[in-house]
Structure 1
């Protein structure tokens, strides 16, 4: 017994000594050797202090980013979660282009991948390396221009369903308090309803599935997704427990809380229902092949499955049914949440700037058909969208909304190897002797993180002009020359990222946004109701000021134009 006790004591002493030695290395030695420590950066107020809240909070991040650039330059060292975690935050277009281009060197950190894959599996958001390359190759044909055009009627019909639902809610407002009425309209949570509409769109466009979320929220697959996204993302508070679970995921299983139970229950429903949909689609495709035909399904799932069995795709480049399911989950999460937030923020900005709203409505009405929208054929719907898509002021408003309030506030990458990073202007590096050397590149050490400030690039006033923080759609008619050097897949803004991991659903997202705006703005006028602020909860979400605990919402007065005599 004494021998066992001695052995346990010796083991614990050795473990404590090893942990102590490792902490000594991290806290004392590593900062002396870490190349990032040579970069200029803001001080921390305490040993456990960090800069994450300052750069992640959209209510102050524009001011913080601008201050960093003025005081330290465009490549800045900041403190991460732990005292030994130095990160790079870059607003240098050359540096960021290099990082986003070399996606095999700069990957999502394992913590981010664990969080994502724990909800929606290892789809394109969580996959890295060859797995991501295979998935992207199979998925790319599904997002062709031809396939995207085929999905226009789905978005159109869903927009009409949302219009009709809002009309019914406004008509049935007899028992609604007068404080929630205005000008013949009613206060509605635009965020809530647009989110339901985008779920319906991605359900039909993604795998030919009717969520019917606009009219009925009881569908089990819809509830599974919504519950999972709500509890696992929207309600995250950044508590010590949340951080602990992020770094040690096994804790969730050992001491399961609400998050673990909801996600597990949601996964059971998703795997059962969505898995059945995949098998049904595969059967239909096989049956069509037997009779020498091609299955005509136009949804993304059908396109994915057909692409995956294409004769010109080598067998070793094909992906499994599990990968197919994971990417459908990914499309649903990314396609519903980001698009709904963009439409919500766009409508909010129109309510805040009524002169922009009226000008845009006038432009949209110039191409609106004279017959009822619900009477249009699919070909006529496509013709209407072709006109809407080319409207210059609508294009400016969409681009300006995506620039000003990108759904993804920022991202993070980790270096998988030491790398020499180029810069657009010389960077001051401090040597051990205290002397400063101006250099055109610096070393990014393996294991160090890069904070990718998407919002900061979009709002940089040195690039976009002195009104860079303002909502000004007309800026797109005469952009500053400096904008052309900015990285970004879409019009030199970083909202859809850049490089090999840029957003594959860009075209689909723009179609959805423009179609919804066309239908809603030609039928309703929007006015401000409660004060709304921004919060970065994985995505940049609207919250009523001082009512954050009520969850994400954007209440606005929604006024039918036919009841508003002052409307043009």
Structure 2
């Protein structure tokens, strides 16, 4: 009798869950029917059978906006998991202007996939915690702090250029995405943590760079596979086990640097009297209005976030900038003339030169429009929101496809034409400021955007002063969006001495 009762109870529970799912499915179907849904919807798999990675999804959304001009699309990751994507400034700015958080706890939330790695740092945190930490970290990006970094950019770039010199001397092509990643990691370690680990000299595959690359790839793989969304299934899977291996390494890497600095400061507190504190000094010593500092876990989350965002996104921008230099030789020569004119016989760019590199800056902006370093970001709706005339309910993730905004025909009619001059009078053209958001927008815009732009200017300026770069005939140059915009087969170039 007891067994029968339990059995009936279990069946009833299953039936209730099933009926709730059917009801929810019908509700979602009515909602997605009001939006521009992607083509080839399957009643069970949704659009999942068309999507192996983010590049497939971006292609589907891009194709749809090119034919329909829509400002928002919807798709299904299997029959129970609808996805909404805004791809136009009119819809994106509603989210940018809001205080809606990142989707870090929802089952299909993209930032949930990054949470074990980056922790609840500035990228992912929200609410009072985000406001407090943003306020505490802002001094690390003051111009007085950024100014001496230009010399570090120059020092790091010189090591990078020596690698290009070897390729030039040998007459062999060189894959530069991996080399640029090492250089930007070197820059981040030196500037933010005063750590000189000689990462560029140690070889082409520093384990930290490799770990970050795999963590990004594995995070996207999990995002695209709903079966890996539940934590217990993910950690038991081969993908989850590999993720844990790389995750443990990057945490140990950061912990060692933090522990070493704490011991050093305990031994000699007078170190904090130096004129310029680095990012880690500020993290360790920061106190809020209540006199409370950051916990060890908070500090590690910020270091992990800063190392990732500061080196990987910038590496993407610089690598695609070098690709564009090679693809558009006339642009390369314009930048060469500007850089040599600004230098006026000097060997290295200085802080004062940054604002004078006007065409180089326009070139870099166009690179980041054409090849968005961060292809997409997301928000979690805590209340209903009207997007493109459709009320999206609360507790839903909405993706903001920056890459699709950068290629929307309403915004950029000639979006596939590489034309830096479009930014010459950009601010005076009465353009919506949300048409171009390479560093996000609103209150949660990138805190390190000036740092990144200056690093890009120095590396590109130093490169064109010394070398000409050309594409390698027969090599396939293909975007591969993950957490950042990578190159599927790398970016190979030939290097010629000037």
- TM-score, normalised on structure 2? 0.88
Structure 2 segments unaligned to the other structure (5+ residues) = none
How far off is 1:91 after superposition? Answer: 4.1
* 3-state SS, counterpart of residue 79 of structure 1: strand
Match of 1:517 among 457, 460, 464: 460
How far off is 1:148 after superposition? Answer: 1.0
How far off is 1:286 after superposition? Answer: 3.6
Match of 1:506 among 449, 456, 471: 449
The separation in 1 between residues aligned to 2:428 and 2:142, in whole angstroms, is 31
The separation in 1 between residues aligned to 2:411 and 2:28, in whole angstroms, is 36
| Match of residue 311 from structure 2 | 336
1:266 aligns with 2:249: yes
The separation in 2 between residues aligned to 1:347 and 1:194, in whole angstroms, is 10
How far off is 1:458 after superposition? Answer: 1.9
What is the count of residue pairs matched by the alignment? Answer: 489
How far off is 1:227 after superposition? Answer: 3.6
1:485 aligns with 2:432: yes
| Match of residue 238 from structure 1 | 221
* 3-state SS, counterpart of residue 406 of structure 2: helix
How far off is 1:109 after superposition? Answer: 5.9
Change in Cα spacing, 1:187 to 1:236, as seen in structure 2 (3 Å) is: farther
The separation in 1 between residues aligned to 2:441 and 2:264, in whole angstroms, is 33
1:357 aligns with 2:340: no
| Match of residue 64 from structure 2 | 64
Match of 1:25 among 23, 26, 29: 23
The separation in 2 between residues aligned to 1:449 and 1:113, in whole angstroms, is 10
Structure 1 segments unaligned to the other structure (5+ residues) = 174-180, 374-380, 428-441, 545-552, 562-568
Change in Cα spacing, 1:109 to 1:558, as seen in structure 2 (3 Å) is: farther
How far off is 1:287 after superposition? Answer: 3.6
How far off is 1:501 after superposition? Answer: 1.2
The separation in 2 between residues aligned to 1:109 and 1:233, in whole angstroms, is 18
Change in Cα spacing, 1:30 to 1:353, as seen in structure 2 (3 Å) is: closer
How far off is 1:231 after superposition? Answer: 2.2
How far off is 1:157 after superposition? Answer: 0.6
Cα distance per residue 1:369-416 (max 9 Å; x no partner): 53555xxxxxxx5xx342243122112101111111111112222211
How far off is 1:164 after superposition? Answer: 1.8
Matches within 5 A, 1:526-537: 526-529=469-472, 530-537=475-482
1:249 aligns with 2:231: yes
Cα distance per residue 1:454-474 (max 9 Å; x no partner): 11222233223x322211112
The separation in 1 between residues aligned to 2:121 and 2:245, in whole angstroms, is 20
1:208 aligns with 2:206: no
Are the counterparts in 2 of residues 158 and 200 from structure 1 also a CA contact under 8 Å? Answer: yes
How far off is 1:106 after superposition? Answer: 6.7
Matches within 5 A, 1:381-420: 384-420=350-386
The separation in 2 between residues aligned to 1:420 and 1:389, in whole angstroms, is 40
The separation in 1 between residues aligned to 2:101 and 2:214, in whole angstroms, is 32
The separation in 1 between residues aligned to 2:96 and 2:265, in whole angstroms, is 36
Cα distance per residue 1:180-226 (max 9 Å; x no partner): x3xxxx2011101111000100011111111312110499xx52x32
Q: Bigger shift: 193-202 or 58-67?
A: 58-67
Are the counterparts in 2 of residues 284 and 295 from structure 1 also a CA contact under 8 Å? Answer: no
- TM-score, normalised on structure 1? 0.78
* 3-state SS, counterpart of residue 462 of structure 1: coil
| Match of residue 418 from structure 2 | 471
The separation in 1 between residues aligned to 2:176 and 2:430, in whole angstroms, is 32
| Match of residue 177 from structure 1 | none
Match of 2:342 among 337, 347, 367: 367
Over the aligned positions, Cα root-mean-square deviation in angstroms equals 3.0
Match of 1:280 among 252, 260, 263: 263
- Which of the two has higher C-alpha Rg? 1
The separation in 1 between residues aligned to 2:252 and 2:327, in whole angstroms, is 40
The separation in 2 between residues aligned to 1:11 and 1:419, in whole angstroms, is 39
Are the counterparts in 2 of residues 122 and 326 from structure 1 also a CA contact under 8 Å? Answer: yes
The separation in 2 between residues aligned to 1:482 and 1:86, in whole angstroms, is 37
| Match of residue 496 from structure 2 | 559
The separation in 1 between residues aligned to 2:443 and 2:224, in whole angstroms, is 34
The separation in 1 between residues aligned to 2:87 and 2:430, in whole angstroms, is 13
Change in Cα spacing, 1:253 to 1:93, as seen in structure 2 (3 Å) is: closer
| Match of residue 190 from structure 1 | 176
Are the counterparts in 2 of residues 107 and 128 from structure 1 also a CA contact under 8 Å? Answer: no
Match of 1:155 among 140, 153, 156: 153
* 3-state SS, counterpart of residue 398 of structure 2: strand
1:295 aligns with 2:274: yes
Cα distance per residue 1:143-198 (max 9 Å; x no partner): 11111112111111101111123223544x3xxxxxxx3xxxx2011101111000
Are the counterparts in 2 of residues 55 and 64 from structure 1 also a CA contact under 8 Å? Answer: no
Change in Cα spacing, 1:355 to 1:240, as seen in structure 2 (3 Å) is: closer
Are the counterparts in 1 of residues 86 and 399 from structure 2 also a CA contact under 8 Å? Answer: yes
How far off is 1:7 after superposition? Answer: 5.7
| Match of residue 488 from structure 2 | 543
Match of 1:168 among 166, 169, 174: 166
| Match of residue 46 from structure 1 | 42
How far off is 1:288 after superposition? Answer: 5.0
Are the counterparts in 2 of residues 532 and 543 from structure 1 also a CA contact under 8 Å? Answer: yes
